[in-house]
Chains A and B, each alone.
Chain A
Amino acid sequence: MKNIIQKSLQSGFVTFLKNQKVLAILIPLLILVSTQSNKFWSLYNLQGLWVIIAMDGIMLVGMVMVMLTAGLDLSIGAIMSLAGVICVYLMNELGLPMWAGILGGILVGALGGAMNGLFITAFKINPFIATLGTMITFEGLAMTITDGYPVVNKVLIFSEIGRGKLGIIPIPAIILAMIFTAGVIFLHYTETGRSIYAIGGNEEAAHASGIRVKRVKFITYTICGLTAGISGVILASRLSTGSPIVGSDSALNVITAAMLGGISMSGGVGTLEGAFLGVLTMGVLSNSFNMMNIQAYYQQVIKGILLLVVIVIDRVSANSRKKALERTRGKNQA
C-alpha cells in the first residue's frame, strides 16, 4: 500500500518534470528576449506571433491525435499548400464564391487526410512511408495546378480571415482557440478520444476490448488532414496567395513542437495541452531570434538540435518503460 502511494507520487512527479521540460526552454527564452529587445512585448509583435502560432497550433490538434495512436503524418505541410492553392484557385480562376473556395480548401485537406488513413488502416502501410508518399503526391498536385507559380488572390474580403482582428485579437488566434478547445474536449470527454489513448497504449488490448482500431485511426488521420486544410486556407488568406510550397517546413515544425510538449512517438503518452506549450515555445523561439537579429540559418540549426534532443529523450524514456514492462513480463512466465 505504502509502495503504491509512493509510486503514484513518483509518477506524478515525473509528469510534473515532463511539463517542466518545455518550460525550462520557454521561460529563459522569454527572459532573454525581454532583456535583448524592447519590441517583443509590443502589441504589434504579439499579434504577429499569435498569427504564426495559430498556423502550427491548428495543425497540432490533428497531429497530436495521430501521434497518440503511435502514428505520424508527414504530409500535413503538403496538404496545407494544396488546400491553400485549391481555395484561391476556386475563387479566382473559376470565379466561385468565397464560401465555396474556403469549403473546397478545407474539404481537400480532409480528403487528403482520409487518403492517409485509408492507406494506413486498409493496406496496413507504415504511417511514415504512407504519408511520405502522399506528401510527394500532394506537393506535385499543388505544383501541377499552379504550374509551379503562386496563385494570387484578388478577392479582398478573403484576406480578412488571415489578417483581420476582433478587437485586438487576430482572427487566426480565435480560430485556433476554438479548434484547440474542441480538440481538448474530444480527447478527454469522448469515447473516440479515449480510444485514441487506448490504441497508442496497447493496440492489441484495445482491439480485444472491442475498440474498432482501424476506424479510430482513420478518424485521426482525417482530422489531421482537416486541420491542415483549415490552416492552409487561413495562410492563403493571410498571404493573399495560394503557394504550392508554403507548407514545406510545417510537418517537421509541428512534429517537433508536439514532441517538445511531451507527446511520445510510441503513442499513448502526452496531452494536447502539453503539446500546445511546445508550439508556443517553437513560435517564441523563431520570433525572438528575429527580434535579436539572429540569422534564419542559425535558427534552423537550433531547431534541428532541439528536435534531436527531444527524440533522444523520448527514446530513452520509452526504452525504460519497455524495460519495466519486460521485467514484470519475465517474472510472470514461470
Chain B
Amino acid sequence: MGTLELDRLTKVFQDGEEGEIVAVDNVDIQMDDGEFIVVVGPSGCGKSTTLRMVAGLETVTSGNIRLDGRVVNDEKPQNRDIAMVFQSYALYPHMTVAENMAFGLEESTTLPDDEIEERVHDAAETMGIAELLDRKPSELSGGQQQRVALGRAIVRDPEVFLMDEPLSNLDAKLRSQMRTELQRLQAELDVTTMYVTHDQTEAMTMGDRIAILNDGKLQQVATPLECYHEPANQFVAGFIGDPSMNFFDMERDGDTLVGSRFEYPLSQSTLDDVGETRNVTLGVRPEDVEVGTDESGSHTYSAVVEVVEPMGDENTVYLRFESAPEGETFIATIDGLQQAAVGDRVTVSIPEETIHLFDGRSGEAVHNRRLDMNDEISSPPT
C-alpha cells in the first residue's frame, strides 16, 4: 500500500489562441511505500504542476497516475486518499486549530465526533501543538501555522503526503529545524511523501531519493549522493551542489581536451568513456579543485585569485586562468584556515579522478568521477 507511480505523465497547457505549453513532459517516477521523494528543479520546471496532478487539482493530459496500482487520473481529489500541505499553509482563518484539523475528517469520513476529536488530539500531540488547539491561525507564529498545516495533513492518515514548498515561508533558522523534524515525522509515520521544492539543500538533506525536473522533463531520479557524484547530465551536475560545479567547454584533440584557457590530457580509461565524442564539457566541483603553490603534475595550472568569500569553515575562492579576462572565473573551495588574498598568483590542480565529462551537445554525462576512496559512501560529501 502507498505506492505511487507516475507513468509517462504529461501536462499541456493551452496558451492563448493556438499556443501550447508542455509543462510536464513524459515524467516517470516510481515511489515505494513509505518513501520520501523530493521533486526539485528551478522555477517553472513543472514540479508544482506534477504535484498538483497527483493531488487532482490539475487534469492529466496523458499518461497515468497510479496509487497502489490503481489509476486515479479521473478520481476527484477527495477520493485519492492523499493529503497536501500548501506553501501558504492554506489554513481556514475563521476556524480554530482543532476545527482546521477536524475539517477534512468531517467532510470526507463518517467518523463519529468523539473519534474525530481523538484523532485530532493525537495528531496535535505528534506535532506538539496540543496547547494551541483553541487558537485561531492569526494568533499563531509562522512556525506554529506550519505545524498546524502538517497536523491537518497527518490527521487524515492518508496513503500519500503531498507537500508544495512547505518550508519556503519560514525564516532560515526555523526552516532547518523544521527540515529535521519533517524527516523524523515522515520516518515515524512511514507515509509515502512527495515533496516539491526549489531548494537543493532541502532536496539533498531530506529525500530518500531526488527527482530533478527541468523544462518539464525528468532529468534524474536517484539518491542524493548519486545525484551529487554521478549526475546523469550537465543540468543535474550544475543544479545539485552549492557552489555549483565548474564547467569548461573543451574540444577533444587526440588524448587531450583543448579549451580556450587550458589543455587537459586524459588517461586511457577516461578516453574509453568519452568514445567518439568531440565536443566535451569538463565539470569539476569546487571542493575538488586543489589550490596550492606546488607546480607538478599534468593537471596543474596557474591562476589568479579574483574574489575570496570567507565562510568560516571554508573559503570560496573565485579564480581566473592567467590568460582569461577579468570576470571569467571558476570556483574553488578551500579550507577556512588556508590563506588566499585577492591578486595572489596560485597553482590549481584538477585531479583526473574528480572530473565529470559531459557530451557538449546533449549534456549527457559520459564520464563521472571515480568513487574509489571508500567502498561505500556513508557520509555526506564535504
A in complex with B: no
